[in-house]
Amino acid sequence: MGSVESRPKLTRTQVEQIEQLYLLEAEDLHRYAHSRSWVRACDAQDLVQITFHEAVGAWEKVEPLGSDERRRWLRQVLRNKAVDLWRVAEAGRSGRRCPRPAPAVRQRDGRARGADDRPDQLLEVDRTDATTSADDRVPGLG
């Protein structure tokens, strides 16, 4: 974390907006963190706090967004931070700098799943190229 000097200067109105955003979204973000299969329960609240720390630092970008866009932005940050946390844990367990990639995930039509594909379109996971145990796979983002 940065020092106090690295925090952006916010007006009282901006601080109140962030506080209101926290009151509106923190509980939902906490549930969202718990719903990610690779997030440990003890990390969920930390992820929410880190997410709002990022929001404060990027408030000039976040402030003009509408409520739905802010919610999406917060969830994306939380998901990215959760994956970062998972990668660090995996690297520590395996002794490698980066975990191995996940096996290819196939959709019903046989195409590999892309970042924008919905999880409910998935049919199966192609494990023929899997060289890791289930605990070593990168979690799917959904």
pLDDT on residue 67: 94
Q: Name the one residue in this structure whose structure tokens are 């967004």.
A: 65
Q: How confident is the model at residue 33 (pLDDT cuts 50, 70, 90)?
A: very high
> Residue 122 has what pLDDT?
35
Instruction: Quick: pLDDT tens for 65-77.
Output: 999 999 999 999 9
In whole angstroms, what is the distance from residue 97 CA to residue 87 CA?
9
Overall size of the chain counted in residues: 142
Q: First-to-last CA distance in the chain?
A: 28
Residue 48 lies in a domain: yes
Q: Are residues 79 and 118 in the same domain?
A: no
Q: How confident is the model at residue 25 (pLDDT cuts 50, 70, 90)?
A: very high
Query: Is residue 138 assigned to a domain?
Result: no
Which tens digit of pLDDT belongs to each residue from 40-86? 888 999 999 999 999 999 999 999 999 999 999 999 999 999 999 88
Total of domains in the chain:
2
Tokens of 88: 């660090």
Q: Which of 110, 25, 111 is nearest to 76 (CA)?
A: 25
The number of beta carbons lying within 10 Å of the beta carbon of residue 48 is 23
Please tell me whether residues 18 and 46 are part of one structural domain: yes
Distance (Å, whole) CA 5 – CA 8: 8
In this structure, the answer to whether residues 110 and 66 fall within a common structural domain is no
pLDDT in tens, 86-103: 888 888 776 665 545 555
Domain around 81: 8-94
